[in-house]
Amino acid sequence: MIGIIDYGAGNLHSVLKAIDRLDYKTKLITKPSDHDDAITKLILPGVGNAKVAMDVLNETGLAIYIKEQVANGTPLLGICLGMQLLLETSEEGNVECLGLIKGTVPEFKEMVKKVPHMGWNQVMDVQNHFLFHQIPQNTDFYFVHSFFANPTDEKDILGITNYGFAFASVIGNEQVMGVQFHPEKSGKYGIQLLENYCK
């Protein structure tokens, strides 16, 4: 069973439908007491503001719940804002995040010509990670974001995308992973990535 963290994120139901289409059972988790021992993996979706999201996660106890589940060995996939929340701090509201991966989330600002970074862009797999199984190198995925992940350790960068400069568009390790793009809106290869995670 795949547990999907529900903190009011805008893309929650599109992620839920995508996982359901893959024939995996899902459960929405709006508070720690919603936990089910049948849950083997977690997904943290996200659209919106980092500070608002962290306020909800902290107020509901979900931030602690997520950290405890990860500490117990449960895999976690963050999507878009959900990926950024995996890091230590975000400039969006100058907020402390989950701290599951070392690094920060700066704003694009003057680094690029146009903000937000919106539309299709290529992702290069730099570590042959299992998330990219059966996905061609430099496949296009759908992005919408104004902030980006800046991991401290290069080993935590799994995929990179160029938008005026190369930034980490996929981060993580074998247990905690994040993708900046929206796999649920990225066609067959986005669905393939979700299936690779769920498997």
Q: Domain segments of the chain: what residues?
A: 2-198
Its pTM stands at 0.96
Evaluate if residue 10 carries a pLDDT over 70. Answer: no
**pLDDT at residue 81, as a whole number:** 96
Q: What is the mean pLDDT of residues 30-52?
A: 95
Please state, rounded to an integer, the average pLDDT across all residues of the chain: 95
Which residue among 80, 117, 195, 198 is the active-site one? 80
Which residue among 92, 145, 184, 195 is the active-site one? 184
Q: For 105-116, write each residue's pLDDT tens digit.
A: 999 987 887 999
198 is catalytic: no
**pLDDT at residue 120, as a whole number:** 98
| CATH, domain range 2-198 | 3.40.50.880
182 is catalytic: yes
Contact status, residue 194 vs residue 22, Cβ threshold 8 Å:
yes
Q: For 129-184, write each residue's pLDDT tens digit.
A: 999 999 999 999 999 999 999 999 999 999 999 999 999 999 999 999 999 999 99
Contact status, residue 91 vs residue 99, Cβ threshold 8 Å:
no
117 is catalytic: no
* Dist CA 68 CA 192 (whole Å): 28
* Dist CA 25 CA 122 (whole Å): 30
Which residue among 92, 182, 195, 198 is the active-site one? 182
